[in-house]
Amino acid sequence: MNGYFLQVAARRRHLFSLLLALTLPFLPAPAQNQPHIEKKGGVAHLVVQGKPYLAIAGETGNSASGSAAYMESLWPRLRQLNLNTVLVPVSWEMVEPQEGTFDFSIVDALVRQARREGVKLSLLWFGSWKNMVSSYAPSWVKLNRERFPLLQDKNGGQIQMLSVFSEGNVAADARAFSAMMRHIREIDAAEQTVIMVQVENEVGYSFGERDWSDLARRAWKAPVPRELTDYLRKHRRDLIPEFRSHWESLGARTSGSWAGVFGDSPAGNEIFMSYYYAKYIGAVVAAGKKEYDIPMFANASIGRQDRKIATYPCGGPIPFVMDVWQCAAPQLDAISPDIYYGDFEGHCRAYTQKGNPLIIPETRGDEVGIGRALLAYAEHGALCFSPFGIEGYAGGPICDFYRDLSTLAPLMLEREPGMTMRAIMVDSDTPVKTLEMGKYRILCEFGHRGNQPAGEQVGYALILQAGEDSFYVYGKGVSLQFSLLERGKKNLVTGILECEEGCFENGAWKASRRLNGDQIMNDYSFDSAFLDGRSGNGLRFGRTGLQYVKLYHY
């Protein structure tokens, strides 16, 4: 390009930027720039301000945002936790105290406080339901049962739950939610303090039961909507197995009444209620996303499935009805488990079926929780791990853990969960586990040489591949030994070439000391170690630490 054309092009660019600067504040942020979930090669990431983001999070108690001043009083504790994301409720009753009159001062305060603290927010929309009931609905909703009908039990009893079958209910909730999302877009699209929204909280009715109001009875008698029967037909092969076998056990019908297709039974009720909860929440989400399209998810109480009889709320987004939720609420970015009970990794696996991104909005934040956080992120690709009642964990071990995790997050975001990033947790019930990673089998033991660490409940390790034969390992209460999966004709044994203790500073490894001798001596039973391809040397973690190890073979 000659000089003249360059000058014209520069002038045009200048004019364009001027125009952009003038119009930008009035335009919604372009879709790809807003916080969103991106999936690449089966790995999902939250993307915030254009960069992958690991939500190292915690959820406050329910009434934390009952006033700006109360929320303010929590920050000294939240600060100690070193988290980067706070999940905090915003209630319908506070933002729409009178119908059509909105007051977003609590949202403004939360955003202002979070920005000052340098953390992101995931808001929890306590709209029509929170833990099944409708206690957070504004008084003008609660007091008008004609216009905002409740769910009824079999005997006509009114239950304090807005009925999912009422168009008036969903319209009112969606209106309020869309007003809030519009407001958030106006105040926050540029800065992106609010990165996700959970819509409603742990919805559902008593286990295995359905709504018996007139509206619900009518829906129950009507044919199963085409949308769902078409979905069943189209996705038959990849339906959730338990759901598919339930449907097939009743003849795999693709038309008919709810009782005919899914049975007049607890499971039939669950599918029926799930469809309508999902429709309702899908409509609320759609209204919000129309204003500001950031990741939105619905969470589930998954109950105590470790007991003989499951007790979770009927209609919530649990794995059995994942297909129903994906069909009826495709607007949702994820359905999410609140994991308090049962097989933690089993729940993670269940909630990563069908491409569902794993967001854990509620769980525990003690030592066991720390091990589980590593499993969630490194084995199951969690985007967010968030203990509930997080302010109560201030001063606990999670504070240092979250500080360490923040330094490792950039490395974790570059690695593939279950492949180049792995985690393991051991305890006195299962003190020895092995995992495979790249060329290696890694033997993980609780404590060191059969001695379990006094006073420790669990041991855990996060293993990040550094090179073909090198790893960064973050661990506590655990020792590791490496061997080759294929030892070859030479029957190669794996030893430690070099080992360092250190940390990451601004993304760069900083060794604090060289380790050798007792610090890498894990097993003096050389003969049996040799049979496994182990040298007897390995990594040892008593207290929490981060080590770099480079392996060799002889």
3-state DSSP call for residue 64?
coil
DSSP letter (8 states) at residue 388: B
- Nearest approach in angstroms of CB 88 to ligand DGJ is 11
- Nearest approach in angstroms of CB 304 to ligand DGJ is 13
DSSP notation for 329-366: -TT-SEEEEE--SS-HHHHHHHTTGGG---EE-B---S
Residue 85 engages ligand DGJ in binding (rule: CB under 6 A): no
Q: How far is CA 514 from the centre of its chain?
A: 37
For residue 380, what are its two tokens?
């199951």
Residue 62 engages ligand DGJ in binding (rule: CB under 6 A): yes
Q: Which residue has the tokens 């409708």?
A: 134
- Nearest approach in angstroms of CB 174 to ligand DGJ is 22
DSSP letter (8 states) at residue 519: G
Q: Which amino acid is at 50?
A: G
CA–CA separation, 291 vs 445, rounded Å?
51
DSSP notation for 83-146: -SEEEEEEEHHHH-SBTTB---HHHHHHHHHHHHHT-EEEEEEEEEEETTB-TTS-HHHHT-TT
**Smaller CB distance to ligand DGJ: residue 94 or 327?**
94
Binders of ligand DGJ among residues 510 to 539 (CB under 6 A) are none
Residue 131 engages ligand DGJ in binding (rule: CB under 6 A): yes
User: Contact at 8 Å (CB) between 404 and 445?
Assistant: no
Q: Which residue's CB comes closest to ligand DGJ?
A: 202
Q: Cα separations (Å) of 254 from 231, 261, 263, 271?
A: 9, 7, 13, 14
**Smaller CB distance to ligand DGJ: residue 362 or 404?**
362
Residue 391 engages ligand DGJ in binding (rule: CB under 6 A): no
**Smaller CB distance to ligand DGJ: residue 177 or 388?**
388
Residue 500 engages ligand DGJ in binding (rule: CB under 6 A): no
Residue 82 engages ligand DGJ in binding (rule: CB under 6 A): no
- Nearest approach in angstroms of CB 132 to ligand DGJ is 10
Sole binder of ligand DGJ in the list 276, 277, 388, 541 (CB under 6 A)? 388
CA–CA separation, 439 vs 190, rounded Å?
45
Residue 65 engages ligand DGJ in binding (rule: CB under 6 A): no
**Smaller CB distance to ligand DGJ: residue 64 or 378?**
64
Binders of ligand DGJ among residues 350 to 369 (CB under 6 A) are 362
- Nearest approach in angstroms of CB 62 to ligand DGJ is 5
274 membership: H or E segment, kind and range = helix 266-291
**Smaller CB distance to ligand DGJ: residue 202 or 379?**
202
- Nearest approach in angstroms of CB 540 to ligand DGJ is 37
Sole binder of ligand DGJ in the list 84, 113, 201, 522 (CB under 6 A)? 201
The pattern of x and - marking residues 315 through 344 that bind ligand DGJ according to CB under 6 A reads -----------------------x------
- Nearest approach in angstroms of CB 390 to ligand DGJ is 12
- Nearest approach in angstroms of CB 477 to ligand DGJ is 27
Residue 406 engages ligand DGJ in binding (rule: CB under 6 A): no
Q: What are phi and psi of 412, to 5 degrees?
A: -65, -40
Return left, alpha or beta for 438; rule: phi > 0 is left, psi -120 to 50 is alpha, else beta. Answer: left
20 membership: H or E segment, kind and range = helix 3-23
Count of residues that bind ligand DGJ according to CB under 6 A: 7
Binders of ligand DGJ among residues 161 to 200 (CB under 6 A) are none
**Smaller CB distance to ligand DGJ: residue 224 or 296?**
296
**Smaller CB distance to ligand DGJ: residue 198 or 420?**
198
User: Contact at 8 Å (CB) between 224 and 325?
Assistant: no
**Smaller CB distance to ligand DGJ: residue 362 or 500?**
362
Q: Which amino acid is at 411?
A: L
**Smaller CB distance to ligand DGJ: residue 289 or 364?**
364
Residue 479 engages ligand DGJ in binding (rule: CB under 6 A): no
Edge-to-edge strands of the sheet including 508-514?
421-427, 458-467, 470-476, 545-553, 494-505, 508-514
Binders of ligand DGJ among residues 103 to 122 (CB under 6 A) are none
**Smaller CB distance to ligand DGJ: residue 57 or 261?**
57
Residue 202 engages ligand DGJ in binding (rule: CB under 6 A): yes
Q: Cα separations (Å) of 504 from 240, 407, 465, 477?
A: 42, 6, 15, 21
Binding site for ligand DGJ (CB under 6 A): 62, 131, 201-202, 338, 362, 388
